[in-house]
A and B are shown apart, each in its own frame.
Chain A
């Protein structure tokens, strides 16, 4: 398990990461969110032991990251780069050797990975002959070679076509099933909603949101329910229901904003009493993208994150 405890990093006296704590479990896909300049890259660089924290600890299975533990971490940075004149297989084998693999073992692993990302035909070609998307897949292989226990992917979907996005998603599921700890940093909120188990959002270096993705979306949603009607003509009948402040169409559904104190079961009963035929009835959840914007625009959670920074992480969670 990757554990980050009270980690702080300062530049010129300014804390770009301020007492951040979280953990990522084996077999989990964990999202690291935040607006540009929030401190995500600095945090990732500390996890990968490229930067040293000014305070706090970063451990992998109880041991400090870095040193011999470097072989347990694979990283796809946002800044993409490859040795352009080297052959694809040689590039990967080199990274395999840096992870402690023997020559033959590294080459075999490189070949297997290239086959998995459907680049086996390009194995002997120089990197510069590959398209941007292909090069990105090679970099993904660089991060995965040696089967690291922690895989950190920074914007892995950018530049990939839909077919390759799907391929990457499959690979992530495979890795998760194999017990790999996956830390995913992306601005594609739909991917986080689809793939990630839990998420941490940081803003101005502070933790602002931390928890399961579903929980976060529910926690910050309006006091509302979303219903799908069997008969679209019933829409106007939603107005005036006791306890419903407002009814508005929402992408084919209806969002009913509730009066304070109104319970979901009370509204459901009222709807049924009016003989409104329902196809579905659910608690309204906030799209992660809206939550993200709310955090950045309105500073949601920022004060909370700052004041709670003193408290143990579990308390911040709740």
Chain B
């Protein structure tokens, strides 16, 4: 294959500029992070505030005590919560919530008070509570994500049961035996390092973030290529272009130009994320080894080549953009499939599933990046080498096959080939 790099770069420049100048590119560049921030803001913000919201509305508790064990219990419960649930927030003050306790003679009276809004919740303590530990709670509504009110009631019950039998300090420890525990786990170097919520969160976010960026970069570049080829075929301009350049030059130019557009987009997103990542990194330092960085670059290169080639083949063989999208969505899905089982991969990065997916070319890039950046994982070098070799081999084969399909299919209009025809194109194209 004798390429004229002058023509390849001319095509690459046009593909790059025509893509980044589109309004849709700007919309994607700004809209995607805005969407993520919006969705995550709502999700994280609402879950962080959930405990506070629950306690704010839990102002009164009606008690129907058939056991007779709680007659001397306190008539007000004091609960203290962190004002900010963000694990990276330092020196967060505690906020106090008070819940009034009122005893009712029977369930009917307590229920009437609950229905009338005079009480937030009702707890019914049966006669055999001490033997069984069973009780019933009634509430107008319950929170899906917070059990702060249940913990408050548990503490109140424990305190009442212990009342007078133990000194205050011992009673406090029985009620809350672990005020703060620190867990130390082995890191990649074999040393014990302290773990906390922040570290746990980062252990999830770093592999997730890296794999997501890589996956997005590959997919965005591939999608641009799919769009470029499909629309060009639809516009019937290919024949004019192919008089001036070879199919291989056109393909190479598109791969370079549209891949660069995808990189620019992801680079922009990374730049946007730097202030946030930087703040988190100051709180909890994250170190990435050069091996991870080099591997990420190689996985990007081969992963992009693999998916971009696939998309080119799809764009070349289908008749229009809609049809191309229908085929492409399945291949894009493969790239993101590891995210569906990210918890399985991160909880056991050296397990058979994680290892298998990191060797399988369509899922190798994202899975291996997850494994390599997971704090508890040490990926054997041979696995990285084998994974890269398999991905590189698959990329080259896909490129050759797609170039053949592209060359034959690009001038066929109005008919999508069936599988035997595609295989024939691949053999003879």
Main SS at interface, chain A:
mixed
A48 to B244, CA, bound (A): 8
Main SS at interface, chain B:
helix
Chain B residues, CB < 8 A from A278: none
Establish whether residues B244 and A99, one from each chain, have CB atoms under 8 Å apart when the complex forms: yes
The residues in B between 221 and 269 inclusive whose CB is less than 8 angstroms from any CB of A are 235-246
Most buried by A among B6, B10, B246: B10
* Given contact pairs A98-B7, A100-B6, A75 touches B243 in the complex (Cβ within 8 A): yes
Pick from A65-73, A166-174, A261-269, A307-315 the stretch touching chain B: A65-73
A71 to B4, CA, bound (A): 12
A17 in contact (CB, < 8 A): no
* Given contact pairs A79-B413, A83-B235, A100-B6, A94 touches B240 in the complex (Cβ within 8 A): no
A80 to B240, CA, bound (A): 8
Chain B interface residue count, Cβ-Cβ cutoff 8 angstroms: 22
* Given contact pairs A48-B243, A67-B2, A74-B243, A81 touches B18 in the complex (Cβ within 8 A): no
Establish whether residues A75 and B239, one from each chain, have CB atoms under 8 Å apart when the complex forms: yes
Establish whether residues B244 and A98, one from each chain, have CB atoms under 8 Å apart when the complex forms: yes
Establish whether residues A98 and B236, one from each chain, have CB atoms under 8 Å apart when the complex forms: no
B11 in contact (CB, < 8 A): yes
Residue-wise interface mask of B (163-194) relative to A, using a CB-CB cutoff of 8 A (1 in contact, 0 not): 00000000000000000000000000000000
Establish whether residues A81 and B14, one from each chain, have CB atoms under 8 Å apart when the complex forms: no
Chain B residues, CB < 8 A from A73: 243
A80 partner, pick from B6, B18, B236, beta carbons under 8 A = B236
Chain B residues, CB < 8 A from A45: 239, 411
Establish whether residues B11 and A84, one from each chain, have CB atoms under 8 Å apart when the complex forms: no
Chain A residues, CB < 8 A from B238: 81
**Shortest distance from the beta carbon of A170 to any chain B beta carbon, whole Å:** 23
Q: Which residue of A lies closest to B237 (CB)?
A: A81
* Given contact pairs A50-B411, A67-B2, A100-B6, A82 touches B243 in the complex (Cβ within 8 A): no
Establish whether residues B246 and A139, one from each chain, have CB atoms under 8 Å apart when the complex forms: no
A84 partner, pick from B4, B14, B235, beta carbons under 8 A = B235
Establish whether residues A139 and B411, one from each chain, have CB atoms under 8 Å apart when the complex forms: no
**Shortest distance from the beta carbon of B197 to any chain A beta carbon, whole Å:** 50
Question: What would 12 A/B residue contacts be, using CB atoms closer than 8 Å?
Answer: A50-B242, A67-B2, A68-B4, A70-B245, A70-B246, A77-B240, A79-B239, A81-B237, A83-B18, A99-B244, A139-B240, A152-B243
- By a beta-carbon cutoff of 8 Å, the part of chain B in contact with chain A is 2, 4, 6-7, 10-11, 14, 18, 235-246, 411, 413
